[in-house]
Amino acid sequence: MSLRVKIDLPKPIRGAIRHAWSVLVEFLDLSWTESKDTCDILIGMDASADIKVSDTFLHMMVSKSYRHEDCFIDEPVILDSSGVPDYLGSAFYAMNCLQEYGSDSSDKYGRFRYVDSWQYRFDCVDRPVVMDYFRNIFDNVICLKSSVKWPMRPSQLCVTHDIDFLYRMKYSRPIFHLKRGEVFQACIGFFKELHSHSARNIDHILDMVNGFGYKSIFFWLLDEKSKMLGHVKVQNSDYDLNSEYVRSCMQRIEALGSFNGLHKSVSDLKFQEELTLFPGDIRVNRNHYLLFRLPSHLNKLDESNIDEDHSLGFAETWGYRNGWSLPYRPYNISAQSAYNVTLVPLNIMDTTLRVYSNDPREELEDKLLDYVTKSRINSVISILWHNPYFTDLERYTGYLDVFERILSLAKELGIRNYTPTFSGSSA
């Protein structure tokens, strides 16, 4: 059965609401056609509409004023002038990260800050609020409920690794102590790291992840040069992408069913320029340092051959940067159509736990395992563990255990392996 849906809305918001509706019906696996006359479901601004879109949403889109303080007043949902929730407009706003459009929020790297987000304001970053919006629509539209059951699909686990460096982390902590004149601590550090494993451990990572029945995406940096961002120096890779070791790693990754991707450098090079220099046909990306601004990042991606991007996550915390738990194609407001690229939101990153969190690692581990358990249905759980966290260097102690427990729990819960929508092959 194909539902006939009439979208009776002003032109400035018709495409946006159609986009949010399309994401919902794709999730429901429901066939529909757009009708100008007789319909099963009416989406409009009148009180008679089956799904009502608010005057607040219209004003926001026309004025291009996307501050969450103006859109989400007392709770993370848009309300119309009479206080009725606008769930479809809220889904569009959250899913497309509109709070970041035109925002002057910026950390030292130029990234949008979690503390300036509605997720921080309402303490709901660990909740896929867009799924809640969609469930409210589903439960209150009789035609939807009578056409299909609410999905209860097993989640998928997307395991990823950013290969920022292979060599330079060794001795970095004792050198830090030495520069501060802390000779005793430096000597102890040198002795410990002398006997530690190298970060040239791609085979070890592959074997471990495969042992749990999952595959990984390895994101590789092309640029070896550092880049100044204002007064902050950002280091790219410390390895040559065309070296014998890296090329052999990339080949083994694909031979074992895992995937290679571009880790877009912090540089003046465009996506397509890096892809041209990258060995093989690569279509998946994650930006180094999760460094990007919206919507310019999406526009740059659409000018390249990237089909799938994994950059959408907060560096400072785990959870949902866009309130949505599944891959999706974001909306291009200027073109009034969806972008070509698919975004796979990032949920959990090792560096978030070690650097940004104030909670003890044991408490964090319990929270993460609870999060994975709650996300076992209707989600793609994306985790990022950098290759140094698989070594026995002292500063990474304990985080490999967290990674293994996440994979073990995912396997126990029947969470399946995620496969990229596209994967190229190395040369």
What averages of pLDDT result for each successive group of 10 residues across the chain (427 residues)?
94 98 98 95 96 98 98 97 97 98 97 98 98 98 96 98 83 57 70 59 96 98 91 93 94 96 96 92 96 98 97 98 98 97 98 89 91 98 96 86 97 97 51
- Note the pLDDT of residue 199: 67
Decide the pairing of beta strands 85-86 and 78-79. antiparallel
- Note the pLDDT of residue 198: 59
Amino acid code (one letter) for 208: M
Residue 218 near residue 202, CB atoms below 8 Å? yes
User: What is the pTM (predicted TM-score) of this model?
Assistant: 0.92
Cα dihedral value 72, 47, 10, 83, nearest 10: -10
Where do the H-state alpha helices sit in 96-230? 118-122, 129-140, 142-147, 172-179, 183-194, 202-211
Residue 40 near residue 6, CB atoms below 8 Å? no
- Note the pLDDT of residue 362: 84
Residue 91 near residue 83, CB atoms below 8 Å? no
- On the 0-12 / 13-18 / 19+ scale of CB atoms within 10 A, 178 is middle
- Note the pLDDT of residue 427: 35
The helix or strand, by DSSP H or E, that contains position 62, with its residue range, turns out to be helix 55-63
- Note the pLDDT of residue 186: 62
- Note the pLDDT of residue 425: 43
Structure tokens that stand for 421 in this block: 């929508």
Residue 6 near residue 33, CB atoms below 8 Å? no
- Note the pLDDT of residue 423: 46
Q: C-alpha 208: how far from its chain's center?
A: 23
The pLDDT tens digits for 24-34 are 999 999 999 99
* All domains of the chain in start order, with CATH: 2-147 (no CATH), 156-311+346-417 (3.20.20.370)
Residues making up the chain, counted from first to last? 427
- Note the pLDDT of residue 190: 60
- Note the pLDDT of residue 178: 64
- Note the pLDDT of residue 177: 55
